[in-house]
Amino acid sequence: MATTDIETLGINVVRGLSMDAVQKANSGHPGTPMALAPLAHVLFTRIMTFDAAAPDWHDRDRFVLSSGHASMLLYSYLYLLGYGLTLDDLRDFRQWGSRTPGHPEYHEVPGIEVTTGPLGQGVANSVGMAMAEANLRTRFGADVVDHHVFAICGDGDLEEGISHEAASLAGHLGLGKLVWIYDDNHITIDGPTELSYTDVVPERFRSYGWHVVEIGEVANDCDAIEAGIRAAMAETDRPSIVILRSHIGWPSPKYTDTAHAHGAPLGADEVAVVKEILGLPAEDFFVPDDVVAYYGAAGRRGADAHAASEARVAAFRSSDPERAAAFDACLAGRGLPGWEASLPAWEVGSSVATRAACAQVITAVAPVVPGLVSGGADLTGNTGTELKGSMAMGPRDLGGRQIHFGVREHGMGGVCNGMAVSGLLPAGGTFLVFSDYMRGAVRVAALSRYRTAFVWSHDSIGVGEDGPTHEPVEQVMSLRAIPGLRVVRPADAVETAEAWRVHVDGDGPTAFILSRQNLPVLAGTVERAATGLPRGAYVVVDEAPGGLDLVLIGTGSEVSLCVEAAERLAADGTRVRVVSMPSWELFEEQSDDYRDAVLPLGVPTLAVEAGVTLGWDRWADDTIGVDTFGRSAPGGRVMAEFGFTVDNVVARAGELLGFTA
């Protein structure tokens, strides 16, 4: 179809809005929105199936602006298409309290599918979205799930390592509903991409097993762009990348193809020149009524498809209520009613590594938490992320619930986040020390409240023989520093199960910090974890009657150590309470009265955790921890050498109380 006058005007209006918003904010990235306005126009008006009046419709096509710095491109179209943004929201771009922050943020505005900005995250999310689409379509049928995932990416996205990890996985799986459009504009903030980047992108993606569509210098040719995207969509057995050569800042005479256009306002004079070239009036935020009407109609174009989709889902619910209930639970990211009854139980005194307990939990609840999918970064069995008896997701069966992510920690995190907003409840596992490799994805999950389970095992110097490169010491405390991340270090198998109950029934991401070594199941957790763990900290051993001399706080493997030390101290007449504190974040959510009841003011308190002591002064008067790197030796020897013994806990307690124990 030929580009019409109203299309040309609409595209130029978006360019004008992008320039004006960045100019008014005196901050932002105008060049990419100017160059890619035709591409976004084609996607929203000719290609994608969506209903702006129902932005949460489960079977809509997904759009990810991985080049999140080009946010004004997305905001302009969300305003025009009828997603609820106003012209005043565009005027408030990047201002305090506005709905249009510098980079798109999930939950801020309908139509923003994921938080983007940290480069590479969005394309990794799009792989997760496509995996979720393929998984649910395979399991429940194309009548209820059948949509595409589109992502716009730039040079920065493709330079970031996470894009390599995610693209490699997508190619391996053959995600035919995934289409990336690569904005090949040859410009970065430092200058021409050739300063640091000479990859042959088509060959790179062909090596991944992708379908490559090179459409060249057609950034202003809507028909050619449409043809390229439709050619990509016609390939159903492989993901596709459409490579578009654009010119950042076009048609600015002064700044086209310059680094300035990437990340700085054009200046009032240049904005005026560009508007004259585009045939726009000089006024700021110019949007004529016919453009509003045109795009408003485009935003409603998918209403019939939406209604037909809902009718098919209703028929599915009527004809197969059991499978439909599972489907609905997937979309909600929840368990079936009463799912928690499937959580396993353990006898007091049994010995189970919490990573092994995790595997038992997810295997037991998988039938009643239908959205649960799980896997590890080539460490599935080692990390407790194996769904025993479940088929693996692979090129020949995308309906499997066991995922082999390969050695792709950062990609795994980004992919899991994409699945978490697309009808699945993902768990991705690796060793705790390698959580550092995926920190960007973890931070975005916390910021965006994605319901991702980050499962990190081998949680301390107890790893032993692998040595200091594999022994985490600072990781747990650094994860606690991330706002919105629920960090849980369970004391035993019982607490591990309760942590999963909190995650499935809760909101936001959870970090499961799990032991390699076996830990005893404690009487106190069997009796009290069901109510205690959701509150973050609770008493697992009561003090003897008559008063309270000392509180021992433990997390993870150190809780059982505190229990043993308390028994010896009590034998000598010291009245000791043992508190398990699996989650600082959950404990901080409790009332002052509850926190004071668990950790009474004025009572000497000793914390014991096999990690850095930084931060423990918030809860304890003294801490036994690890403020250096570990050593290579059998795990028991390493723990003992660093002071994680009953003798040392008793001695340090005596020092705190002012006597020799």
Q: What are the phi and psi torsion angles at 154 (to 5°)?
A: -125, -170
For residue 1, what pLDDT is reported?
Answer: 52
Residue 655 falls in the annotated catalytic set: no
- Kindly state whether residue 327 falls inside one of the protein's structural domains: no
- 411 in the same domain as 345: yes
Residue 660 binned pLDDT confidence (cut-offs 50, 70, 90)? low
CA distance 633 to 630: 9
- Kindly state whether residue 316 falls inside one of the protein's structural domains: no
For residue 3, what pLDDT is reported?
Answer: 77
Residue 20 binned pLDDT confidence (cut-offs 50, 70, 90)? very high
**Average of per-residue pLDDT across 267-273:** 98
- Kindly state whether residue 63 falls inside one of the protein's structural domains: yes
Residue 468 and residue 429 in contact, taking contact as beta carbons nearer than 8 Å: no
Domain enclosing residue 487, as ranges? 339-520
Catalytic residue among 160, 386, 409, 558: 409
For residue 569, what pLDDT is reported?
Answer: 97
Q: How many CB atoms lie within 10 A of CB 182?
A: 27
pLDDT in tens, 499-533: 999 999 999 999 999 999 999 999 999 999 999 99
- Kindly state whether residue 310 falls inside one of the protein's structural domains: no
For residue 479, what pLDDT is reported?
Answer: 98
- 547 in the same domain as 432: no
For residue 533, what pLDDT is reported?
Answer: 98
Burial string for 584-597 (b: 16+ CB within 10 Å, else e) reads bbbbeebeeeebee
pLDDT at 2 over 90: no
- Kindly state whether residue 315 falls inside one of the protein's structural domains: no
For residue 300, what pLDDT is reported?
Answer: 98
Average pLDDT of the chain, as a whole number: 97
Residue 4 binned pLDDT confidence (cut-offs 50, 70, 90)? confident
Report the CATH number at residue 497.
3.40.50.970
Count of domains in the chain? 3
pTM score of the predicted model: 0.98
- Kindly state whether residue 323 falls inside one of the protein's structural domains: no
Q: What are the phi and psi torsion angles at 187 (to 5°)?
A: -130, 135
- 574 in the same domain as 496: no
Domain final residue, candidates 520, 547, 563: 520
Tokens in use for 89? 């929201």
- 542 in the same domain as 512: no
Residue percentage of the chain with pLDDT more than 70: 99
For residue 572, what pLDDT is reported?
Answer: 93
Residue 9 and residue 37 in contact, taking contact as beta carbons nearer than 8 Å: no
pLDDT in tens, 362-399: 999 999 999 999 999 999 999 999 999 999 999 988 99
Tokens in use for 164? 């390599």
Domain final residue, candidates 277, 304, 331: 304
- 650 in the same domain as 554: yes
Between residues 107 and 647, which one has the greater pLDDT?
Answer: 647
pLDDT at 661 over 60: no
For residue 396, what pLDDT is reported?
Answer: 80
Report the CATH number at residue 616.
3.40.50.920
Residue 531 CA from chain centroid, whole number: 28
Residue 651 binned pLDDT confidence (cut-offs 50, 70, 90)? very high
pLDDT in tens, 151-206: 999 999 999 999 999 999 999 999 999 999 999 999 999 999 999 999 999 999 99
- 293 in the same domain as 441: no
In degrees, to the nearest 5, what angle opens at C-alpha 116 toward C-alphas 125 and 40? 90
Q: What are the phi and psi torsion angles at 96 (to 5°)?
A: -55, 130
- 179 in the same domain as 57: yes
